[in-house]
Amino acid sequence: MKQSKQILKNTNAEILDEFNASIMFDKELYRQDIKGSIAHSKMLALQNIISNDEQLEIEKGLLQVLEEIEKGEFKFSLEFEDIHMAVESRLIEIIGDAGKRVHTARSRNDQVCTDFTLYVQEKSVSIKKQIKTLIETFVELANKHTDTLMPGMTHLQHAQPINFGFHMMAYANMFKRDFERFESSYERNNYSPLGSAALAGTPHNIDRFKTAELLGFSAPTQNAMDSVSNRDFALEILFNISTCMMHISRISEELILWSSYEFGFVKMSDMYATTSSIMPQKKNPDVPELLRGKTGRVYGNLISLLTVMKSLPLAYNKDTQEDKEGVFDSVSTIEISLSILNEVIKTMIINKERMFEACKIGHLTATDLADYLVLKQNIPFRTAYYITKEVVAFANSINKDISELNIDEIRKSSKDLENVNEDIVSYLNLENSMNSRNSFGGTSTKQTKLAIETFQNWLKNS
Ligand code: ARG
């Protein structure tokens, strides 16, 4: 009886330790934690708060801890609640008394913010690089297809002829905005919380500008209380990842559609499609489906942290320990998603013929016909619209697309066109139609090439 009570007690304590601790996941921050402590100790020595010898011992000890962790020799246990305590206690174990001075003029509250900010900043840079690689892939692909015709759609219905390069450049633009979002978040959040201490600063004569500089931040944060309770940097990366995943999901959706039998515009490499376990003839677009699906969990992580933060009184509250797992998950999700999407795009085969055939469905050049009548014959647009409807009906009656009509057929199609000039035929031509949209940002081959050039320059200089 006594014994079972004891077990129950232990179990409860264990459960509580586990509930309270973050070491199981914040060990991911070991590099940032050690980097932060080394910078902090250097500053303490420069300010004569600790001696130079003590600083050297601390730095050497911390580097040993780093090595132990990287070699897998470090024992992570629930005995130490988080990475900050785990590293500090091992440091004291290795170097003794000097190690007990490293926590002077700081608290875990500013330490966790510093470590996590460093992590988010590093990831913003590496994710940005991956996005740039993806943009390069889109631009390269676009460059090969500035005159590959395809139906441009609205409401997923054939609308007007565009070129495939133009479509790819739409994605290059989306991902460029993502790139810029990571970049501007980096600038906005590049401030060091270290030395804010628990919430109100410290009586020690520290130099927060020095630690900020040593850690690569532009400056220390302005207000200690805000610093220890702020998680905007984490929310920003979650939002930036969410928006980027939304873009990944949109291209994935198009890849799924385009690789279907009904479209047949692209063929994904066999590596990125899987077979069905029951239907031997099938090739499923599992990879883009997963990319589309994973967007959900990334949105979830953003909403979770927004919800965690919404009612927190100043300053630090333990609730914020819930900030990390979602960020780690979103980061690893976008990292793998970007690299896989890049390969999918690089290796897919474009079926130009199918795209061109699809342009001949839906009378894509109907607007061009109406515009011709307005421009060349001074016919009011609404009248031109109804004449065009007659031509479309005629084309349907002989099972042709209006882009395929010859001059005799056009003249036969409507009383108003009996004497129409022969040049009308060229206005119904699909390629001419695409190239006529030559306004800045339009689909013409010329504008698409200009856009590609602009992007190539941007890629070179960013
Ligand atoms: N483990 C905590 C976290 O992840 C940091 C430590 C601050 N904890 C505290 N009780 N003051 O947010």
- The catalytically annotated residue of 4, 155, 397, 439 is 155
Q: How far apart are CA 21 and CA 153, in angstroms?
A: 52
Atom of ligand 1 nearest to the CA of 21: 1
Same domain, 159 and 95: no
Token readout for 114 is 């510093």
**275: three-class secondary structure by DSSP:** strand
- Chunked into runs of 10 residues, the chain (462 residues) has average pLDDT values of 52 88 97 98 98 98 98 95 98 98 98 98 98 98 98 96 98 98 98 98 98 98 98 98 98 97 93 72 87 98 98 97 98 98 97 98 95 94 96 97 96 95 96 97 98 98 93
Q: Determine the Cα–Cα distance for residues 45 and 53; give it in Å rounded to an integer.
A: 9
Last residue within a domain, chosen from 356, 380, 408: 356
Residues with a CB atom less than 6 Å from ligand 1: 22, 26, 81-82, 108-109, 112, 316, 318, 320-321
Q: Alpha carbon 390 to chain centroid distance?
A: 48
User: Are 98 and 153 found together in one domain?
Assistant: no
- Tell me, yes or no, whether 148 lies in a domain: yes
Q: Find the domain containing 304 and state its range.
A: 109-356
In a domain, 454, yes or no: no
Structural contact between residues 72 and 47, judged by C-beta atoms closer than 8 angstroms: no
Q: Measured between alpha carbons, how far is 288 from 271 in angstroms, rounded to an integer?
A: 12
- At 12 the pLDDT is 83
- Shared domain for 71 and 215, answered yes or no, is no
Mode of pairing for the β-strands spanning 191-192 and 219-220: parallel
Q: Label residue 67 exposed, middle or buried (CB < 10 Å: 0-12, 13-18, 19+).
A: exposed
Separation CA 211–CA 219 (nearest Å): 9
Tokens describing residue 145: 């297809």
Cα 448 from Cα 438, distance rounded (Å): 9
**What is the reported pLDDT for 25?**
97
Residues 268 and 211 in one domain: yes
Give a yes or no: residue 443 inside a domain: no
**For the CA atoms of 24, 28, 32, 36, what is the dihedral angle to 10 degrees?**
0
Predicted local distance difference test score (pLDDT) of residue 19: 94
3-class secondary-structure state, position 382? helix
Q: Whose CA is nearest to atom 12 of ligand 1?
A: 321
Asked which of 322, 356, 390 is the last residue of a domain, the reply is 356
Amino acid at 7: I
Residue 113 lies in a domain: yes
Amino acid in position 201: G
Same domain, 199 and 286: yes
Please say whether the beta carbons of 179 and 462 come within 8 A: yes
Residue of 276, 332, 339, 426 with catalytic role? 276
DSSP H helices in 310-380 = 324-347, 352-359, 366-377
Check residue 77 and give its pLDDT. 93
- As given in the structure block, the two tokens for residue 101 are 């001075």
Q: Are residues 96 and 207 in the same domain?
A: no
Cα of 326 vs centre of ligand 1, distance in Å, is 16
Q: What is the pLDDT of residue 5?
A: 53
Of 316, 325, 327, the one to substitute when testing ligand 1's pocket (max ligand atoms within 8 A of C-beta) is 316
Give the integer Cα–Cα distance in Å for 86 and 93.
Answer: 11
Residue 340 and residue 396 in one domain: no
Residue 270 and residue 320 in contact, taking contact as beta carbons nearer than 8 Å = no
Q: How far is the CA of 233 from the centre of ligand 1 (A)?
A: 17
d(CA 6, CA 256): 58
The answer to whether residue 446 sits within a structural domain is no
- Locate 99 and state its tokens: 């190690």
DSSP secondary structure of 86-136: HHHHHHHHHHGGGGGGTTTT--HHHHHHHHHHHHHHHHHHHHHHHHHHHHH
Task: Calculate how far, in angstroms, residue 296's C-alpha sits from the geometric centre of ligand 1.
Answer: 28
In a domain, 322, yes or no: yes
Q: Is 153 left (phi over 0), alpha (psi -120 to 50) or beta?
A: beta
Active site residue 276: yes
Task: Indicate the residue type of 260.
Answer: S
Residue 3 lies in a domain: no
Residues 91 and 117 in one domain: no
Which of the listed residues 104, 129, 155 is the one where a domain comes to its end?
A: 104
Instruction: Based on the fold, state whether residues 86 and 152 are members of the same structural domain.
Output: no
Q: 247 and 134, same structural domain?
A: yes
Report the C-alpha gap between 390 and 394 in whole angstroms.
6
Six-digit token string for 416: 């108003």
**Which atom number of ligand 1 is nearest to the Cα of residue 109?**
7
CATH of residue 417: 1.10.40.30
Domain co-membership, 127 together with 249: yes
Domain assignment of residue 193, yes or no: yes
193 three-class SS: coil
User: How far is it, in rounded angstroms, from Cα 104 to Cα 384?
Assistant: 81
What is the Å distance from ligand 1's center to 120 Cα?
18
**3-class SS of residue 157:** strand
How many structural domains are present in the chain? 3
The residues pairing with 275 across neighbouring beta strands, listed in sequence order, are 283
CATH number, domain containing residue 267: 1.20.200.10
Same domain, 329 and 393: no
